[in-house]
Amino acid sequence: MAHLGNCILATQPRDTSEGLQLNFQQNISDTMTVLPKLSTGLDVNVRFTGVSDFEYTPECIVFDLLNIPLYHGWLVDPQSPEQVQAVGRLSYNQLVEKIITCKHASDSSLVSQGKGPTPGPGGTAGRPQPRHGPAVPAGLVAEQFLESTASQLTFHGLCELTARAREGELGVFFRNNHFSTMIKHKGHLYLLVTDQGFLQEEGVVWESLHSVDGDSCFCDAEFHLSHPLGKEGATAAPPDPRRQQRQVDQDYMVALSLQQGLDSPSVLSDLELARQLQHEEYQQHHPHPHPHPAAPQLLPAQAGGRLAGERRQRQRPDLDCTLL
- Tell me the whole-structure pTM to 2 decimals: 0.61
Tell me: the pLDDT tens digits for 127-144? 344 444 445 578 899 999
Beta carbons of 239 and 280 less than 8 angstroms apart? no
Residue 66 lies in a domain: yes
pLDDT value at position 57?
84
Looking at the fold, whether 138 and 158 belong to one and the same domain comes out as no
pLDDT value at position 26?
86
pLDDT value at position 253?
64
Looking at the fold, whether 30 and 162 belong to one and the same domain comes out as yes
Quote the mean pLDDT of the chain: 74
Looking at the fold, whether 126 and 67 belong to one and the same domain comes out as no
Candidate from 78-87, 123-132, 193-202, 223-232 with smallest mean pLDDT: 123-132
Pairwise pLDDT comparison (260 vs 168), residue with the higher score = 168
Domain boundary (96, 128, 148) is at: 148
- Cα-based distances in Å from 207 to 16, 162, 184, 226: 42, 15, 12, 10
Supply the range of the domain harboring residue 262: 241-289+297-303
Q: State percent of the chain over pLDDT 90.
A: 34
Looking at the fold, whether 170 and 109 belong to one and the same domain comes out as no
What are the phi and psi torsion angles at 82 (to 5°)? -65, -45
Residue 225 lies in a domain: no
pLDDT value at position 87?
93
Beta carbons of 129 and 115 less than 8 angstroms apart? yes
Residue 263 lies in a domain: yes
Residue whose C-alpha is closest to residue 73's, from 174, 143, 194, 191 = 174
Looking at the fold, whether 121 and 245 belong to one and the same domain comes out as no
Tell me: the pLDDT tens digits for 97-116? 999 998 887 555 555 444 44
Residue 91 lies in a domain: yes
Residue whose C-alpha is closest to residue 183's, from 210, 199, 165 = 165
Looking at the fold, whether 124 and 31 belong to one and the same domain comes out as no
Looking at the fold, whether 21 and 169 belong to one and the same domain comes out as yes
Looking at the fold, whether 98 and 68 belong to one and the same domain comes out as no
How far, rounded to the nearest angstrom, does the alpha carbon of residue 27 sit from its chain's CA centroid?
A: 32
Looking at the fold, whether 7 and 138 belong to one and the same domain comes out as no
- Cβ burial 303-315 (10 Å sphere, 16+ → b, else e): eeebeeeeeeeee
d(CA 15, CA 21): 7
Q: Is the pLDDT at 172 greater than 60, yes or no?
A: yes
Looking at the fold, whether 163 and 254 belong to one and the same domain comes out as no
Beta carbons of 83 and 46 less than 8 angstroms apart? no
Residue 220 lies in a domain: no
Q: C-alpha angle 75/79/83, rounded to 5°?
A: 60
Beta carbons of 177 and 200 less than 8 angstroms apart? no
Candidate from 71-85, 167-181, 277-291 with smallest mean pLDDT: 277-291
Looking at the fold, whether 129 and 165 belong to one and the same domain comes out as no
Q: Is the pLDDT at 244 greater than 60, yes or no?
A: no
Residue 88 lies in a domain: yes
With a CB cutoff of 8 Å and minimum separation 6, the contacts of 229 are 201, 237, 239, 240
Looking at the fold, whether 67 and 186 belong to one and the same domain comes out as yes
d(CA 218, CA 207): 5
d(CA 40, CA 14): 31
Q: What's the average model confidence in pLDDT over 53-69? A: 89
Residue 221 lies in a domain: no
DSSP state at residue 301:
G
| Structural domains in the chain (count) | 3
Tell me: the pLDDT tens digits for 252-284? 665 665 555 544 444 455 666 667 767 766 666
Beta carbons of 182 and 189 less than 8 angstroms apart? yes
Residue 269 lies in a domain: yes
